[in-house]
Amino acid sequence: AQSVTQLDSQVPVFEEAPVELRCNYSSSVSVYLFWYVQYPNQGLQLLLKYLSGSTLVKGINGFEAEFNKSQTSFHLRKPSVHISDTAEYFCAVSGGSGYSTLTFGKGTMLLVSP
């Protein structure tokens, strides 16, 4: 069985400040890791994914994440946030082969203020 823990339910930050959203997972098998963003009243949009290879993954909108196998973490970072980054962010894990369902964390609400 797999599980995902997002340690912060809400992260308030000022515009142009850096941000880190934390994600830890547990799994007995190799995994794929994902970050999705959900803007108000919209569906989920993929920000970035880790399948294999380089542990530093770059995504859309200036976000990046680093896979750390020893710490079973996949934290999301952005060096300078914008008001438009205000949204809910979900970390997810799936089995590392073929088709597999996604197991999501509870989500982190990023609140960017001027």
Partner 1 sequence: GAGVSQSPSNKVTEKGKDVELRCDPISGHTALYWYRQSLGQGLEFLIYFQGNSAPDKSGLPSDRFSAERTGGSVSTLTIQRTQQEDSAVYLCASSQPGSGNEQFFGPGTRLTVL
The reply on whether position 22 binds partner 1 by CB under 8 A is no
| Angstrom distances, CA of residue 23 to CA of 70, 72, 80, 91, 99 | 14, 9, 19, 6, 22
The reply on whether position 45 binds partner 1 by CB under 8 A is yes
Among 25, 73, 107, 110, binds partner 1 (CB under 8 A): 107
Lookup result for tokens 């930050």: 13
Interacting residues with partner 1 between 48 and 87 (CB under 8 A): 49, 51
Q: How far is the CB of 51 from partner 1 (least distance, A)?
A: 4
Q: Which residues bind partner 1 (CB under 8 A)?
A: 32, 34, 36, 42-46, 49, 51, 90, 94-95, 98-107
